[in-house]
């Protein structure tokens, strides 16, 4: 038994060394132990030439759809996430993004094809549709000489991520702010959950937070009903460092129509949160996107991604409109 394990270990190490040697010419090497940055290829550190122009239009949420129709879309090709384990995804091959700002708020719109509306994660086998938008936290230069990992940043190079979730959109309209088990299993019966809406029926227990819900008692945003937004505001400094912010500043709205998603995320150009990217008209930054298709089992690192940064430029405010 021990010999077998030893043999497998040696085999695994040999395979690892061969893989490292085979991919050495593709990896942007900066030495040992530099995290995600060392995993990015030279090509991934060359931003796309075509920028997303965030058009200045004097519109707000109630007129934003018309404003988006006046903004030129940027089409991005997506691919499966193939670097960090567990990898996967790739079922969403392209996405269209538009940007508009009104001098105080910025709006991003995303459209992509998805034949299945996956907005429920109440059972083990269900996964959500979602879209993520990522910016370097600070104003940076990105090139092979000044790399910035498009794969969730790196140590000393944080990113701000906005993550819209289809199930949060659904929960916004649900009783108690989240769905009941009976919504997924209408014919279920247990000895204890005899009421059709047990969360509502057991309201007193539900509000005895320390007794029944450690996540809620700890203030974990993911455990809270009535989150007040469909977008999670996050930071990361590389793989496996994704962290929910204390200050949630991003809002969203999403609609599944004509076999695809139409999602808008929006926020004030400037916030008081030092962990947020700040947008200044006339100044350029970069962005990357990721899309999850729950029908294909996408979750976490299993997603479709754009691997090269795209420039994003905000038009200056025009006072003659």
Q: Indicate whether 249 belongs to the interface with Ca ion (CB under 5 A).
A: yes
233 near Ca ion (CB under 5 A): yes
- Phi first, then psi: give them for residue 4, nearest 5 degrees: -65, -45
**Which region among 10-18, 45-53, 170-178, 248-256 touches Ca ion (by CB under 5 A)?**
248-256
Give dist(CA 157, CA 306) in Å, integer: 19
Beta-carbon count within 10 A of 25 CB: 9
Q: How far is the CB of 45 from Ca ion (least distance, A)?
A: 27
Instruction: Establish if 259 lies at the interface with Ca ion (CB under 5 A).
Output: no
**Residue 102-121 contact track with Ca ion, rule CB under 5 A, x = bound:** ------------x-x-x---
Nearer to Ca ion, 48 or 120 (CB): 120
Among 26, 247, 255, 318, binds Ca ion (CB under 5 A): 247
Stretch that binds Ca ion, among 24-32, 63-71, 174-182, 291-299 (CB under 5 A): 291-299
Tell me how far, at minimum, the Cβ of 37 lies from Ca ion, in Å: 24
Could you tell me which stretch among 8-16, 168-176, 179-187, 245-253 binds Ca ion (CB under 5 A)? 245-253
Catalogue the long-range contacts made by 200-209 (C-beta closer than 8 Å, 24 or more residues apart): 200/175, 200/176, 206/176
Q: Is 102 left (phi over 0), alpha (psi -120 to 50) or beta?
A: alpha
CA angle 158, 147, 110 (to 5 degrees): 60
The tokens for 55 are 């058009």
What dihedral angle (degrees, nearest 10) is formed by the CA atoms of 60, 63, 66, 69?
Answer: 30
Per CB under 5 A, 167 contacts Ca ion: no
SS3 319: coil
Question: Which residues of this protein are in contact with Ca ion, per CB under 5 A?
Answer: 114, 116, 118, 129, 233, 245, 247, 249, 273, 276, 293, 295
């Amino acid at each position: 038994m021990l010999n077998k394990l030893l043999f497998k270990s040696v085999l695994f190490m040999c395979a690892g060394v061969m893989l490292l040697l085979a991919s050495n010419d593709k990896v942007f090497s900066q030495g040992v132990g530099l995290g995600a940055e060392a995993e990015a290829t030279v090509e991934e550190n060359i931003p796309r030439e075509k920028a997303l122009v965030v058009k200045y239009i004097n519109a707000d949420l109630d007129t934003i759809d018309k404003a988006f129709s006046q903004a030129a879309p940027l089409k991005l090709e997506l691919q499966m996430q193939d670097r960090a384990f567990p990898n996967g995804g790739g079922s969403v091959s392209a996405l269209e993004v538009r940007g508009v700002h009104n001098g105080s708020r910025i709006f991003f719109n995303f459209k992509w094809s998805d034949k299945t509306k996956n907005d429920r994660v109440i059972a083990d086998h269900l996964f959500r549709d979602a879209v993520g938008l990522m910016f370097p936290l600070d104003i940076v230069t990105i090139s092979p000489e000044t790399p910035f990992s498009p794969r969730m940043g790196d140590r000393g190079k944080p990113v701000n991520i906005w993550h819209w979730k289809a199930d949060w959109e659904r929960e916004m309209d649900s009783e108690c702010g989240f769905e009941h088990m009976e919504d997924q299993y209408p014919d279920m019966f247990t000895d204890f959950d005899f009421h059709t809406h047990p969360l509502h029926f057991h309201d007193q227990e539900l509000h005895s937070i320390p007794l029944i819900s450690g996540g809620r008692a700890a203030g974990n945003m993911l455990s809270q009903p009535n989150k007040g937004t469909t977008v999670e505001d996050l930071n990361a400094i590389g793989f496996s460092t994704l962290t929910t912010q204390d200050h949630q500043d991003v809002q969203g709205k999403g609609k599944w129509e004509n076999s695809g998603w139409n999602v808008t995320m929006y926020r004030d150009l400037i916030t008081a949160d030092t962990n947020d990217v700040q947008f200044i008209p006339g100044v350029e930054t970069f962005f990357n996107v990721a899309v999850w298709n729950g029908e294909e089992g996408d979750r976490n690192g299993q997603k479709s991604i754009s691997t090269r940064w795209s420039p994003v430029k905000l038009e200056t405010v025009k006072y003659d409109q």
